[in-house]
């Protein structure tokens, strides 16, 4: 009986080593959304931009709202990885126009329409490299993507 138990143990060890390794987790979408901290925006944006660049990501300030249809479509498409082929690796500091309006305006991120995407300046303030607004409906992410690429080019 002892020999049979040893044989079973050897077979089980062999079976464990012969099995393939578990699959690696997917790296996820290339676009990452980052929630802002409270406080004055320029220093927060500077820190955010430094961290994004350290991860080889392009930093952008993104302003939306829960009621904004193009914002919801863009967000869903980005999280699903549907924009990975159309855009570089982005880090989006995600702010809400209704909640963060005063500090957005004070830091140069004011706009007439949302969604708003802005390339931040080295001082953390908004620059003229921006796009705002989009069409309504499920086509909005595909309408936004080429416009985003255009503001990312130096």
What DSSP string runs through 57-115?
Answer: -EEEEEEE-TT-HHHHHHHHHHHTTTTTTTS--EEEEEEEHHHHHHHHHHTT---SSSS
Which of 28-32, 43-47, 64-68, 131-135 shows the lowest mean pLDDT across its residues? 28-32
Half-sphere exposure of 128 (CA within 13 A, CB side): 1
The radius of gyration of the chain's CA atoms, rounded to the nearest angstrom, is 23
Model pLDDT for residues 7-18, shown as the tens digit of each residue:
444 445 444 444
pLDDT at position 114 is 97
Distance CA 63, CA 92 (A): 9
Model pLDDT for residues 100-125, shown as the tens digit of each residue:
999 999 999 999 999 999 999 999 99
pLDDT at position 115 is 98
pLDDT above 50 (res 31): yes
Contacts of 88 (CB under 8 A, 6+ apart): 30, 58, 152
End-to-end CA distance of the chain: 76
Return the percentage of the chain with pLDDT > 70, whole number.
82
Tokens linked to 51: 């961290």
Domains and CATH numbers, the chain: 31-152 (3.40.30.10)
pLDDT above 90 (res 25): no
pLDDT at position 154 is 73
**Strand ranges inside 2-150, DSSP E:** 31-34, 58-64, 90-96, 116-120, 126-132
């Amino acid at each position: 009986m002892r020999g049979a138990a040893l044989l079973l143990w050897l077979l089980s060890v062999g079976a464990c080593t012969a099995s393939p390794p578990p699959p690696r987790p997917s790296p996820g979408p290339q676009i990452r959304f980052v929630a802002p901290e409270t406080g004055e925006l320029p220093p927060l944006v500077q820190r955010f931009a430094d961290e994004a660049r350290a991860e080889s990501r392009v930093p952008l300030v993104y302003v939306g709202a829960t009621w904004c249809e193009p914002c919801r479509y863009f967000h869903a498409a980005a999280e699903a990885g549907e924009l990975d082929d159309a855009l570089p690796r982005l880090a989006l500091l995600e702010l809400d126009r209704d909640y963060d309006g005063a500090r957005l305006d004070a830091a140069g991120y004011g706009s007439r329409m949302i969604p708003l995407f802005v390339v931040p300046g080295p001082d953390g303030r908004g620059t003229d490299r921006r796009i705002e607004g989009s069409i309504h409906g499920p086509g909005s992410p595909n309408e936004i993507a080429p416009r985003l690429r255009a503001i990312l080019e130096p």
